[in-house]
Amino acid sequence: MIHLQICQGTTCYIMGAAQLASACLQLPADVRDKVRVTGCRCLGLCRDGAFGDAPYVKIDDEILARATLESVLAALRARTEETP
């Protein structure tokens, strides 16, 4: 099972994580059954001027910056093809 964590810290939330979380709850069927979607507290990546790369998500141990539904879906599909 792949674990998708969507940062729900203030910066990410403002930069689109709220909409991303809603969209990710309706992942396509070929991906949905292999992914557990949760929110998480600030990943600590928005500091030191990196807030412009928000929203951040974490897919297992991989961080994805400037996450969009398209980029998250692409990353998940790449992993689901590896995951039986």
Which residues form the interface with ligand FES (CB under 6 A)? Answer: 7, 9-12, 42-46, 54, 56
* Shortest distance in whole angstroms from residue 40 CB to ligand FES: 8
Nearer to ligand FES, 11 or 75 (CB): 11
Identify which of 67, 82, 79 has the alpha carbon closest to the alpha carbon of residue 35. Answer: 79
Nearer to ligand FES, 15 or 76 (CB): 15
* Shortest distance in whole angstroms from residue 84 CB to ligand FES: 32
Nearer to ligand FES, 12 or 76 (CB): 12
Closest residue to ligand FES, judged by C-beta, is 9
Q: What is the DSSP string of 14-56?
A: IIIIHHHHHHHTT--HHHHTTEEEEEES--S-S-TTGGGG---
